[in-house]
Amino acid sequence: MTVATQTPDIAAAKEKKSMTSATQTPDLEASGKKDGMAIVTHTPEAKANLNLETHIAAEGLSVWYRTTEAVKKVDMMIQKGAVTAIIGPSGCGKSTFLRSINRMNDLVPGCNVTGRMVLEGQNIYAPEVDVVALRQRVGMVFQKPNPFPKSIFENIAFGVRLQGISNRGRLSEIVERSLTRAAIWDEVKDRLTQNALGLSGGQQQRLCIARALAVEPQILLMDEPASALDPRATARIEDLIAELRGDFTIVIVTHNMQQAARVSDYTAFFYEGVMVEYGPTQQIFTNPRFKQTEDYITGRFG
């Protein structure tokens, strides 16, 4: 298979029923070819591992911006309590896919989604879904820190108050717990009444993570959370992701392949809207199944 023809072949093959169930799990292995495509099946290890639990799954998910299909019929099972990284060149659809997990794309004029995104058995794109409640369950941290122009305390308490909690003692408890989990409590505990905009960039990003954690989400989405930070601040964010693993399902988009290799359990490689390959991070980075994945990881393009 050549790089020039692989992506259309993958997109076509994923429409086949025989391929759909196989591409939904990260624990896969190649077993022959069909129509120029490697056929993917469950590994024996995956079949034996009954502890894996899918938290959220894309099923034939496509995202359109008017007439442009930015994400193309993606099937992907995201494992509960694991860190999943999404990598790929700029414009490949990885951030669009990430935003589809909590329907942030609803805010984009002309955006339309087909297929399903299933969270614990429910399609989040069903008409009866409460989007506000969904975003409490599926929090998000953006590429650029976006603290509110309020005090540090009020940044964390804001979402909690929207949930109906107004008792000052309870709010203080939640603020401290959230800042502690985000590894920033010791740095700001004596500055809670100060404006959050006075924090450094790395501190602001950890504050935003604390704000997301305060409403007790099940899933945390991170869209290149360290891309605007210096190496020291980036290391703090990566350490934090490691600490949150297991307590939360984390999906992170990153351009930094070394970061993906360091922090994630699973990695998905996107190219031109197609999920080319998805599997355990160690396998993706040491023994990718597709030449296109290998070319991207080794820096031949991207």
Domains of the chain listed by start with CATH number: 3-297 (3.40.50.300)
Q: Give, in degrees to the nearest 5, the angle at Cα 49 between 46 and 54.
A: 80
Tell me the average pLDDT of the chain.
86
What's the average model confidence in pLDDT over 88-109? 96
Beta strands, E only, 47-201? 54-65, 68-79, 83-87, 111-119, 122-123, 138-141
What's the average model confidence in pLDDT over 191-209? 96
Residue 149 has pLDDT above 60, yes or no: yes
Rg (CA), the chain: 20
Residue 51 has pLDDT above 70, yes or no: no
User: How far is 156 from 142, CA to CA, in rounded Å?
Assistant: 16
**2 burial via Cβ count (<10 Å: 0-12, 13-18, 19+):** exposed
User: How far is 158 from 214, CA to CA, in rounded Å?
Assistant: 9
What's the average model confidence in pLDDT over 4-27? 40
Residue 116 has pLDDT above 60, yes or no: yes
**Lowest-confidence region among 13-17, 185-189, 244-248:** 13-17
Residue 13 has pLDDT above 80, yes or no: no
Model confidence over 207-236: pLDDT tens digits?
999 999 999 999 999 999 998 888 999 999
Helix (H) or strand (E) holding 180: helix 168-181
